Structure 1
């Protein structure tokens, strides 16, 4: 049997693909970047290349989505949907495009799976569905959108809940939070991420407009991917929504200090006043611990930063 991952060359999706392939599963990756895989520098996926099938698919092109899922339907355990435009200052610069990818792209996956009889889907959602509700945020915390990104994630969850109720599908939501770690170069990210982690890649003189007055539970990508797989592989769950994060809030200025300590020199980083995005923190991960056996490995941000630094150093050689 195999697992199909939409956005399987993205930061989180690629690690989900890697861990599943290491289990010996065949992984079908649907990603617009599939034709450029060899130039992406995802060395961990190259390690399991024989287990991967790459399909270049735009999630907004319903016909292409349908054709690919139809071709692989008979071998699929299910689908892990990870295509998403992440939260950031650029999201609101092109709202229709980004909302379409997050909301309509998700709906295209659900509808295709409904027609083809693919029952199990794990949707990568976000702690953004809680908005600025005070933490710890439990899965029963009411929906609250404080930006367009959060609204798009709420819509994706609601589509999934209704498809499950109406058509008997098994759609589960993994509510992720702020992810860092191997597979993503800080130089390819927004300014606040560069300010936090950029010196690990050798970036200097980073001036971010905000982010200094915030504490969030940043989660190492390995832990994020591991939690998603546990949710996917659970035979039965008593809930549909699960928080997947480190569960440990860390002040942004502490991350800057820890990064400087790891690289062994003073970093010229300045985070401006205020939060990066309007979010509460941390996520309460007790449900995932109890029902899925999820236990994040990198709860100490220092250990996660050291692991990230090793990957970035190796990737530059």
Structure 2
């Protein structure tokens, strides 16, 4: 059997693909970037390249998505949907495009799966569905959108829940939070991410306009991927929404200090006042721990930073 991952070359999706392939699964990666696969620097996927099938598709191109899923339908165990424009100040600059990718893209995947009889779908959602509700936020915390990104994630979840109820599908939502780690260079990310993690890559003079007055639940990408794989591979679940994160809040300025201690010098990093995005933290991960046996490895972010640094040094450009 095989698993199809939309956005399988993204930061989280690529590690989900890696873990599934290491477990012996054939993984069909649907991603607009497959034609640049050799230039993406995803060295870990080379290890499992023989287990991967690469398909170039835009999640908004319903017809191509349908053709690809139809071609692989008879071997598919299910679909993991990971295509998403991430949260950040840029999201509201192109609202129609970004909302379409996140909300309509999710709807396209669900509808294609419905028509083709592919019943099992794990949707990569977000802790943004809780908005600025005070942490720890459990799966019973009511929906609250405090930005457009959060609204798209709420919409995607509700689509999935209604497809489950109406058509008997098995759609599960993995509520992820702020992810860091191997597979994504800080220099390719937004300014706050660069300020927090950039010195590990050798970046200096990073000036972010905000983010200093915030503590968030940062999760190592290996832990995020592990939680998604566990959710997908669980035969039956008693719930449909699961928080997948470290479950630990870390102050942004503390991360800056940890990185400085690690590399042995202080880079010229400035985080401006206020939060990066309007979120509460941390996520309560007790449900995933109990039902999925999800146990994040990097609950001490210093260990996660060391792992990230090793990867950046071994993949220096």
After TM superposition, the score normalised by the length of structure 1 is 1.00
Q: Could you tell me how far 1:264 is from its partner in structure 2?
A: 1.3
Q: In the comparison of the two structures, how many residue pairs are matched?
A: 317
Q: 253-262 or 146-155, which moves further after superposition? A: 253-262
**TM-superposed deviation, 1:210:** 0.3
Q: Which residue of 1 aligns with 2:223?
A: 223
Q: Which secondary structure does the structure 2 equivalent of 1:174 belong to?
A: strand
Deviation at 1:267, TM superposition (A): 1.3
The equivalent of 1:115 in structure 2 is 115
Distance 2:175 2:118 in 1: 22
Structure 2 equivalent of residue 282 of structure 1: 282
SS in structure 1 of the partner of residue 87 of structure 2: coil
Matched, 1:311 2:303: no
Q: Which residue does 2:81 correspond to in 1?
A: 81
In the alignment, structure 1 residue 248 sits paired with structure 2 residue 245: no
Q: 5+ residue gaps in structure 2?
A: none
Question: Which residues in structure 2 correspond to 1:5-154 (within 5 Å)?
Answer: 5-154=5-154
1:272-307 per-position Cα deviation (integer Å, ceiling 9, x unaligned): 000000000000000000000000000001000000
Alignment-derived partner of residue 199 in structure 2: 199
**Structure 1 position 143, deviation (Å):** 0.2
**1:230-241 → structure 2 map (5 Å cutoff):** 230-241=230-241
Q: Distance in 1 between matches of 2:14 and 2:73?
A: 21
Hey, what's the Cα distance between the residues in 1 that align with 2:250 and 2:159?
A: 33
RMSD: 0.5
* Residue number in structure 1 paired with 2:162: 162
Q: Equivalents in 2 of 1:166, 1:213: separation in Å?
A: 43
CA distance in 2, matches of 1:264, 1:197: 14
CA–CA distance in 1 between the matches of 2:180 and 2:229?
18
Aligned match of 2:180: 180
Gaps in structure 1 of 5+ consecutive residues: none
Q: TM-score, normalised by structure 2?
A: 1.00
1:253-272 superposed Cα distances (whole Å, 9 cap, x missing partner): 00000111111111110100
